[in-house]
Structure 1
């Protein structure tokens, strides 16, 4: 991929090449993550043509080519006519924004509650997929700690989650702990803040004995 980066760097020196406005200062054209490649540019036919030339040159050198069925172009602020021209040059399908990568949305604005709907839906779906309704409280607590909460932690490592979303997820986890897969929201046996207390603190031992 270093070869591709150098090819794209050379293409970006062409007077016809126009950077994406957020990448102009840093002169970024492409980013690579494992087997994934992201290319950024202004919505311009000459620029896209130079990018495709660079990809073809890399293909000749390495034997690697973009998979059309797994490649998409994302537009912002481009007219329909310009989109059609660029799609004709690139021969890739048009994707829809916002796009997800590794399960999270790629956005430049502050994360909103609506952006997290897929996270809440995933947690709800995971709870509903567990068909065993005879799990003990300790078993449910273990699933919450190791699986459900880890979903929230993954998103929290990348974004600052809105308070509304955190409360909604806590409500789901609390309902699953006390009612199982039915997710019925009723009065809990123990306050949620005590459930979340570390084992070495406060009422952790009493809680652990109750859950068992």
Structure 2
């Protein structure tokens, strides 16, 4: 999961992108890469934090040779546009929502694994 994000970011590092362009890439490309994986497995929190850190460093970095300046906390960027953020979702929240969805499917649908877990 992390390798996919890093490979995608390295292609964009040389391009001159505005903050709006970077926000669009983070929201619509980088956050959609691990969605299928997150719906099936639950990665450790270190992997999720590392993934979020890579996205934050890509968003705030102007160039590789210059020092990065973060004008706000990454958590503030996760607010919707109308609340002053850029609309990026936290990967931990996405992972937690998939965990709840999977738990609900186990509880409500008649599956072999769901029946096994109910009996246990």
| TM bucket, shorter chain | 0.5 to 0.7
Quick check: 1:203 aligned with 2:84? Answer: yes
Aligned to 1:155: 37
Matches within 5 A, 1:23-102: none
Aligned partners of 1:157, 1:183: CA distance in 2, in Å?
Answer: 37
Unaligned runs of 5+ in 2: 88-120
Normalised by the length of structure 2, the TM-score is 0.61
In the alignment, what sits opposite 2:46?
Answer: 164
Q: Deviations over 1:152-211 (max 9, x none)?
A: 2222111112100000000000000011573988441111111011224x323xx69xxx
Distance 1:183 1:167 in 2: 24
Structure with the largest fraction of helix? 2
Pick closer, same or farther for the CA change 1:145–1:173 going to 2, 3 Å.
same
Secondary structure of residue in 2 paired with 1:151: coil
Asked if 1:126 corresponds to 2:18, the answer is no
Change (3 A) 1:125 1:189: same
Distance (whole Å) between structure 2 residues aligned to residue 131 and residue 178 of structure 1: 12
Structure 2: distance between partners of 1:183 and 1:164: 27
RMSD value over aligned CA atoms? 2.6
Normalising by structure 1, report the TM-score: 0.36
Higher relative CO (Cα under 8 Å, sequence separation at least 6) belongs to 2
